[in-house]
Amino acid sequence: MLIDHNNLEEYQDPMNYDLEFGGETKKYNFYLEVARLNPGEVLELACGTGLTTIYLSKLGINITGVDISSAMLAYARFKAQGLPVDFIEADARTFDSEKRFSMIYLTGNAFQAFLSDEDQIALLGTVYKHLEPNGVFVFETRNPMGTDLSNQEETIWGEFIDRAGIKVKVSGIQSYDSRNHIMHWVTFRDWGSKKTTSRIACRFTDNDTLKRLLTNHGFSIESQYSDWDKTPFTSLSSSIISVCRKSEELGSTSF
């Protein structure tokens, strides 16, 4: 399995992570709606600080979150005090539980953190094993056809207000490995008095390959959207949001 330890660099400051990336209410409500349409226990893989997990738990969803980062999970547990939600430290490729879930999902484009065919297949094996019969699997990923994959020098990406009330400027560079379909991003966060650097790698999978991968590993695709408003997916959409159903029989494992 292809492991990029730099991918964990983005997840060492969970409080500021929430301030930079939190507040995506449309996304949270999308997953909430799917969960309510598929009653039962829910599993979020790569849950991070529990931004979506906790939102669903507060609204009555019986949910478990799994993540590989101990720092992110520690903050998730702190935020979730008093809620009936479990957080488990584990690798989504090898996670093993006796529980079976009516819905399993990944968000935050976490699917792209699985950097090889082997990684993706291991993830889908985890999902298939832990879904109840006819269970639903939902995730989003950036669409390579709708994304600028060119190599870029440092560019301003945005800003956020940190936990101390300081405005942090965010910029970065990107370099695309077309052979392996992996984008390498380097992110700079500038507080004025200090500047941090973190690296992350994300794999881009085109939709034809994605459909074949899902079908071959036991899933039927029910819907694909381009955004949280359920706009139908097109070839040039920036995102692919896939709602899949566990098939009765596991398909061929050939890629």
Q: Give me the tens of pLDDT residue by residue for the chain, a chain 255 residues long.
A: 344 445 667 778 899 999 999 999 999 999 999 999 999 999 999 999 999 999 999 999 999 999 999 999 999 999 999 999 999 999 999 999 999 999 999 999 999 999 999 999 999 999 999 999 999 999 999 999 999 999 999 999 999 999 999 999 999 999 999 999 999 999 999 999 999 999 999 999 999 999 999 999 999 999 999 999 999 999 999 999 999 999 976 544 332
Q: Are 31 and 91 in contact (CB under 8 A)?
A: no
pTM of this structure: 0.93
Shared domain check, 72 and 139: yes
Shared domain check, 228 and 188: no
Task: Report if residue 221 sits inside a domain.
Answer: yes
End-to-end CA gap in the chain: 15
Shared domain check, 194 and 81: no
Task: Report if residue 229 sits inside a domain.
Answer: yes
Beta partners for 140?
A: 241
Amino acid, res. 207: N
Shared domain check, 81 and 130: yes
CA gap 194, 177 in Å, rounded: 30
Q: Are 181 and 210 in contact (CB under 8 A)?
A: no
Task: Report if residue 251 sits inside a domain.
Answer: no
CATH number at residue 109: 3.40.50.150
Task: Report if residue 24 sits inside a domain.
Answer: yes
For residue 253, the model assigns a pLDDT of 39
Overall domain count for the chain:
2
Shared domain check, 44 and 89: yes
Shared domain check, 102 and 222: yes
Task: Report if residue 67 sits inside a domain.
Answer: yes
For residue 225, the model assigns a pLDDT of 98
Task: Report if residue 254 sits inside a domain.
Answer: no
Shared domain check, 137 and 26: yes
Can you give the residue range of the structural domain that contains 156? Answer: 146-203
For residue 245, the model assigns a pLDDT of 98
Task: Report if residue 212 sits inside a domain.
Answer: yes
Shared domain check, 15 and 105: yes
